[in-house]
């Protein structure tokens, strides 16, 4: 007990407390943020399936999930879903609108597409005649950067609970340094 009294009286207690409490707080908050990741990322080559695996995106009723091509600088030119009965899509910029077999949108309209982010959200299943009921769907995205096009496909997985991330960010492929598209990704 006398040791505790001497620590309080020595004048070291207050500076020590000022260091320990903020450090502990930062550690606890940092750990909490790490456990609740809000961003999932992958290289462009993985998102294109060049590593042999179709990437997945989880969507739910509780929150939307963003698919961001901002880090790559690519512009989204065209998007489609194999089964649009359970997913809504929104974009951060103008998108090409073509309808029907003839494509009632003009090619000039498609040249003005400037979206970089797709926001996906699950909705109650719509009854679309002729469309079978499935538990997931495929999202196809065509992007363009400096005149070069890329094809991305993502398996959309429906879930009832909110996913552990809200954005899937696509990053440019590594220049080199040993990183390749072979093998698994996050």
What's the pLDDT tens digit per position in 33-58?
Answer: 444 457 899 999 999 998 888 999 99
Quote the pLDDT of residue 36: 47
Whole-number average pLDDT of the chain? 79
Asked whether residue 181 is domain-assigned, the answer is no
Cα end-to-end span (Å), the chain: 53
pLDDT at 84 exceeding the cut of 80: yes
Quote the pLDDT of residue 34: 45
For a pLDDT cut of 70, what percent of the chain falls above it? 67
pLDDT at 87 exceeding the cut of 50: yes
Is the domain of 12 the same as that of 49? Answer: no
Asked whether residue 143 is domain-assigned, the answer is yes
pLDDT at 28 exceeding the cut of 60: no
Is the domain of 54 the same as that of 117? Answer: yes
Is the domain of 149 the same as that of 62? Answer: yes
Number of H helices, E strands in the chain: 4, 9
Is the domain of 48 the same as that of 127? Answer: yes
Q: How confident is the model at residue 5 (pLDDT cuts 50, 70, 90)?
A: low
Domain that holds residue 143: 39-171
Domains: count for the chain? 2
Distance CA 153, CA 47 (A): 7
Burial of 96 (0-12, 13-18, 19+ CB in 10 A): buried
pLDDT at 178 exceeding the cut of 60: no
Quote the pLDDT of residue 85: 93
Is the domain of 43 the same as that of 94? Answer: yes
């Amino acid at each position: 007990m006398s040791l505790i009294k001497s620590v309080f009286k020595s004048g070291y207690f207050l500076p020590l407390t000022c260091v320990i409490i903020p450090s502990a707080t930062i550690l606890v908050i940092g750990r909490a943020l790490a456990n609740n990741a809000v961003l999932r990322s992958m290289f462009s080559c993985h998102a294109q399936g060049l590593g042999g695996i179709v990437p997945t995106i989880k969507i739910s009723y509780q929150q939307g999930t963003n698919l961001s091509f901002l880090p790559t600088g690519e512009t989204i030119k065209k998007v489609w879903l194999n089964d649009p009965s359970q997913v809504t899509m929104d974009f951060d910029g103008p998108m090409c609108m073509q309808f029907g077999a003839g494509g009632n949108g003009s090619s000039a309209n498609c040249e003005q597409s400037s979206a970089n982010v797709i926001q996906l959200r699950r909705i109650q299943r719509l009854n679309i005649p002729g469309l079978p009921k499935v538990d997931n769907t495929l999202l196809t995205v065509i992007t363009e950067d400096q005149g070069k096009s890329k094809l991305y496909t993502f398996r959309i997985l429906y879930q009832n609970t909110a996913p552990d991330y809200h954005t899937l960010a696509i990053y440019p492929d590594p220049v080199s340094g040993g990183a390749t598209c072979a093998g698994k990704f996050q």
